[in-house]
Amino acid sequence: MILFLKLILLGAMVFKQVDANEVNLNINTMKAISDEFLDPNEEKHSNFLSDFKEQCEKGQTSPETILRNMKYRLMDTCNSHILRESAEKLSKEKTIIEELREVTSISAQPCILFGLLVQSKLDITTIEEFSVKVNKELGDLTYVADVCSSVAHNESSRMKEQYTEEIRNKVNKISSYVANYIDESRLLLWPTVHNRVLREMIQKFVELPEKFKDEAFRDAHTTLKTIGDKNYVYGILVVKPETEEYKFFYEGIDNYCSAKYGEDNRTHGFDTVIARLPFNQSLPEEKFTVLKRMHMLKEHVNRFEAIIRLELEQLCQNPSLPQIAATLKNKFGPDFISKEMFHGWAIVRESSFLCPTVEYRSSPYTDGDLDSIISIECLRTGSNSASPDARLIRAATQKLLLNGILFYEGLLARYEEQFHVELNETLTWKTGFPTEEELSEEIIDLPIGMGKYDTSQQKTAIKSMSRHLISLGDLHRYKSLIDGSENYETSKSYYQKSSQLWPSTGHPYNQLGVVVYYSKRVIDEFFYLTRALACAHPYEAARDRLKQRLDAMRTKVSKYQPVLDKECGIVKEQGNALRRLQIIRQIWIHPITESTQDGTGEKVKDDILSHFLEHSKAKLHRRAVSYLSDTFGLLVTKIGMEHFESVSERAFGLLYASLAKTETDFSADQLVKLAAMFIYVVQTNLEKATTSSSTSQLETSVNTVVTYFLVLLEHLETHRTLLFPALNVLATWICHPETEGVWSTVGHVESIGKTILPKLTGLIKDYGSEEGPKGVYPETVLLASFFKVFEPSPVETGRSRMDNLKDAMEKIKSLKKTSQKKEEGEEEKTPEEEDNEEPKSRERIIEEERDKEKATIVIHPEYLIPDTNVFIGELELIRQLLEVASKVDKLQILVPTIVLDELQNISKLSASDPKSNSESHDPDRISKAKQAVGWLKEQAKGGGKKTNSLFTLTTQGKRLHSLIMAAEDLDGIGKMTNDDMILQSAVKWSESLPAPASSSILSQIGTPIRNATLRNCVLITGDRGLTIKAIGASLPCRGIANFAKWMT
């Protein structure tokens, strides 16, 4: 409320007008009086009612007067939106406010909406905040009008309804008009304001035209995103003339592209193009549509590039860029520049060199991984270098790479013809690697690879083709580096195909380890480097690279460690607090049946795994990948093993929590690769198991593999398809004769992570049976020639994954029995040891005696106060509770304003924002928040009259007359977390309630109990920290699922 008043008063100060029309809003005052009127506990003076009635009916404080003033400033003076021809004037007037503050005699536009657009510099966030504040004020005004109608027309229900209906109609008109004015005005600001913003940004960072800084690009991208229509994303192209012989050509569709170029029209010495792409961020499918479009355009770019190369000789003869453009457009086709194809293009030629090279460039939008302008530039040789020699070298290199690619493609074709082999038929996976579905569910028919050919000549030819594919991958990788495209998928595909043809050599795996580095996929990188070292013909150069990358991962995890140390420390502190709070006895009275249950309050686990389980699936995956990779790294390098216990426990705790979700971000591919990585460390440590220290390292490695196996096994019933490939890899290794040396060396096994992981019971479960396949499983092919466990040419065994799994389970059981016997022996105490146990301290004995006198809370739920996560995670249960509450009229759901605010903020986030935090911008969380906000808005329609059981609750514990979707002014609230404000709302509301009547069921049950606390307000939350705080404040709480189950 206060923030909105400040805006209005600022408008009144800046935009001078006659005194009679000055806006003097008194909503704050009237709302406070209305709250006081409705509060039965508030003491009122004798003339309160008559004074309030007078304020409702007369003067500047009456709802009618306030609405009239708001209508004047927001509608009457804003009789038309900004026209396109006024946009230039508007962009120039962004400094007018400073002038008006100094020169009060200047007469300005009284329309506060026009002023808003000027003052906010067209910033979308500021404008939307203003709209929210307007709607909040209008909502408050509706509330005041409802209360005033009860006072001024309490004798006539018809007059009361007519009064409130008129107010609501006026409020709706103002709200709609404001939204329409802003939306239509913003639509007409393209492209004048956008070009001016880009110009200002360039001028800000460019002292002289020849000195350009990248900061201008970054700031311009950010600023363009905040102005104009929020349903567009923007990209920019800035070209700097470096020589006198410089020409620039541009053509584009005005609605999508705008250019400033030419001697008289340049932006501070630069030729510029701004492009915008329609993109409705509120629609999840929109991003897919745009990505699909950009992919299609890239394919066209490749075709156009080939056309240009064929036309280079002719293009060199054209003296002007328009002629070059005409020639190219004739070749490209009439729809080259169109709404469906490219929206615009630019051609640049510099210096005296007429023959061009061709580049296409793609710059990222600020909204995630959408691509920006794809511009085809006709540049002279080596345009990004000042040296003529360097430019010639670059051109020669590009030509060499292209010729090399063509040579090897032709050579492979000759191999196929000469030796009667077909590359595509030889490959198991034509694209190079199995899809997730193929890896999980496909059975591969034999023979595969070289096994399809009989002669030694053909098999030798396949090996040679494998090497040529590596060369093709290298050439494409170099081309991507020189082009700056950062697209290495083509080279990656060639390397993967090479590894399929000849899995016994480590060379293609090493190249894969190099190329996936660019995509930041650490599991893929470590897997391929270990594959390069673990096959029949290892590629030793991979060893140094693996060590280097593992050191980098150790550095990354060392940054995570303090964060998790702090989190885990808080969890332990909360656990200690919880144990002290568990002495509170809770007696719950059913709100409908009035039956009682003793001790049915929410139980909070005081362990770290429960804390992990509260994380989002994205956060769990991100952390688990880092910790699992570091666990692997410690076992490989043996450096930093003093941290191994902490790192590995957290790694498997995070993995367990991730797989415990109904949906996980882990893929079958990643889990198979992790299985191979952990097997690698066992096999390499087995070779070194000659000293006691090496044996210890081997035991640790084995226990790591066993723990990984047991964690996967624990979740097999819920993620069968996902986990089976990785479990089969582990089971095959566990039961293979080559592994007997491992078991004879270590003797027994045990799982790690016992302080975090629960008791793993997967070994004692019955998983049924499966029929053996006719063929082999994909993971067997994927790991061909991985040590001696997986054959280079897989053979059919007739055994199913389940057969292998059951054998592995029996093997692990037998190895764990030895370990359990050893542990049981260690736990037994002699009588002498028991006698020597340290006696309890006097303080401990007193504390235990005091704990025996349990405090008691008796709860008869009448008011339910849900937190934010309840709406995001269990909206359907809230709907069901509201239905029950509406039917029985014995329950009310009070939604704190901070919950409404938090839900609306989450719903406005963008999952594709590259600067975003992965957890807070989790797409699933954002989608569910939008559903919750939509449902709440639906309930709030008609002033909340849709239900009489749903209300808004302020942080001060004030219940509004209905559910109102409005933000609360939190000035002066201090540095409180959202959870603390939710708790404060609940506690203050609970404290404001009168004591239960002696005849109530709550008093009848609670009064006879000594020192019993009586409560009829319940906090609905599943948050661990909030639950503990609530219990500490004697406020009962339940998880939504727990409460809903109890209700039924």
Query: What gap in Å lies between CA 513 and CA 521, rounded to an integer?
Result: 10
Model confidence at 12: pLDDT above 70: no
Q: Are strands 232-239 and 271-278 parallel, antiparallel or unpaired?
A: antiparallel
Residue 517, classified by CB atoms within 10 Å of its CB into exposed (0-12), middle (13-18) or buried (19+), is middle
Q: Which helix (H) or strand (E) holds 365?
A: none
- Name residues whose C-beta falls within 8 Å of residue 45's C-beta, 6 or more positions apart in sequence: none
Residue type, 607: D
Instruction: Output the pLDDT for position 993.
Output: 92
What pLDDT digit, counting tens, does each position of 118-132 carry?
666 666 667 777 777
Q: Are strands 257-260 and 271-278 parallel, antiparallel or unpaired?
A: antiparallel
Q: Which helix (H) or strand (E) holds 488?
A: none
Model confidence at 380: pLDDT above 80: no
More confident site: 458 or 34: 458
pLDDT category, 48, cuts 50, 70, 90? Answer: confident
Most confident by average pLDDT, 279-283, 414-418, 824-828, 918-922: 414-418
Model confidence at 1045: pLDDT above 50: yes
Q: Which of 444, 443, 447 is nearest to 458 (CA)?
A: 447
Most confident by average pLDDT, 117-121, 222-226, 703-707: 703-707
Instruction: Output the pLDDT for position 745.
Output: 86
pLDDT category, 982, cuts 50, 70, 90? Answer: very high
Q: Which helix (H) or strand (E) holds 356?
A: strand 356-364
Under DSSP, the state recorded for 1016 is: E
Are 261 and 248 in contact by the 8 Å Cβ rule? The answer is: yes
Domains of the chain: 2-187 (1.20.58), 204-384 (no CATH), 396-539 (1.25.40), 667-823 (no CATH), 854-1047 (3.40.50.1010)
Cα 114 to Cα 73, 121, 129, 131, 524, distances in angstroms: 10, 11, 15, 13, 55
Cα 678 to Cα 325, 390, 530, 589, distances in angstroms: 58, 47, 10, 53
Query: What gap in Å lies between CA 456 and CA 350, rounded to an integer?
Result: 57
Cα 986 to Cα 604, 693, 966, distances in angstroms: 20, 58, 18
Query: What gap in Å lies between CA 473 and CA 512, rounded to an integer?
Result: 9
User: Which alpha helices (DSSP H) does 227-343 contain, by range?
Assistant: 284-310, 312-317, 321-332
The residues facing 236 across adjacent strands are 274
- Name residues whose C-beta falls within 8 Å of residue 849's C-beta, 6 or more positions apart in sequence: none
Q: Which helix (H) or strand (E) holds 893?
A: strand 892-896
Query: What gap in Å lies between CA 186 and CA 230, rounded to an integer?
Result: 9
Q: Which two structure tokens, joined as six digits, stand for 572? A: 């332990």
Q: Is the dihedral of CA 126, 132, 135, 141 positive or negative?
A: negative
Are 881 and 893 in contact by the 8 Å Cβ rule? The answer is: yes
Are 966 and 952 in contact by the 8 Å Cβ rule? The answer is: yes
User: What does the pLDDT average to over 188-197?
Assistant: 76
Residue 74, classified by CB atoms within 10 Å of its CB into exposed (0-12), middle (13-18) or buried (19+), is buried
Query: What gap in Å lies between CA 946 and CA 495, rounded to an integer?
Result: 62
- 3-state secondary structure (DSSP) of residue 501: helix
Query: What gap in Å lies between CA 32 and CA 544, rounded to an integer?
Result: 72
Question: 3-state SS of 444-474?
Answer: ECCCCHHHHCCCHHHHHHHHHHHHHHHHHHH
Residue 788, classified by CB atoms within 10 Å of its CB into exposed (0-12), middle (13-18) or buried (19+), is middle
Are 674 and 523 in contact by the 8 Å Cβ rule? The answer is: yes
Residue 78, classified by CB atoms within 10 Å of its CB into exposed (0-12), middle (13-18) or buried (19+), is buried
| Region of poorest pLDDT, from 21-30, 485-494, 671-680 | 21-30
Query: What gap in Å lies between CA 660 and CA 611, rounded to an integer?
Result: 13
CA 1002 to chain centre: 45
pLDDT category, 819, cuts 50, 70, 90? Answer: low
User: Which alpha helices (DSSP H) does 367-488 contain, by range?
Assistant: 388-419, 423-426, 436-441, 456-483
Cα 591 to Cα 884, 890, 1020, 1046, distances in angstroms: 11, 7, 15, 10
User: What does the pLDDT average to over 621-640?
Assistant: 90
pLDDT category, 599, cuts 50, 70, 90? Answer: low
Query: What gap in Å lies between CA 479 and CA 485, rounded to an integer?
Result: 9
What pLDDT digit, counting tens, does each position of 51-110 carry?
888 888 877 778 888 888 888 878 887 766 555 555 555 554 444 333 333 333 333 446
Instruction: Output the pLDDT for position 7.
Output: 25
More confident site: 351 or 161: 161
pLDDT category, 420, cuts 50, 70, 90? Answer: very high
Q: Which of 1025, 977, 1019, 1021 is nearest to 573 (CA)?
A: 1025
Query: What gap in Å lies between CA 734 and CA 709, rounded to an integer?
Result: 10
Q: Which two structure tokens, joined as six digits, stand for 1042? A: 């727990």
User: What does the pLDDT average to over 39-45?
Assistant: 71
- 3-state secondary structure (DSSP) of residue 740: helix
Query: What gap in Å lies between CA 14 and CA 181, rounded to an integer?
Result: 20
Under DSSP, the state recorded for 76 is: I
Backbone phi, psi, residue 34, to 5°: -65, -45
Q: How many CB atoms lie within 10 A of CB 919?
A: 15
Model confidence at 862: pLDDT above 50: yes
- Name residues whose C-beta falls within 8 Å of residue 490's C-beta, 6 or more positions apart in sequence: 473, 476, 480
- 3-state secondary structure (DSSP) of residue 665: coil
Query: What gap in Å lies between CA 682 and CA 689, rounded to an integer?
Result: 10
Query: What gap in Å lies between CA 681 and CA 685, rounded to an integer?
Result: 6
Look at the pTM and tell me if it is higher than 0.85.
no
Length of the chain: 1048
Query: What gap in Å lies between CA 48 and CA 33, rounded to an integer?
Result: 9
Instruction: Output the pLDDT for position 348.
Output: 77
Query: What gap in Å lies between CA 556 and CA 627, rounded to an integer?
Result: 10
Instruction: Output the pLDDT for position 414.
Output: 92
Percent of the chain whose predicted confidence (pLDDT) is above 90:
26
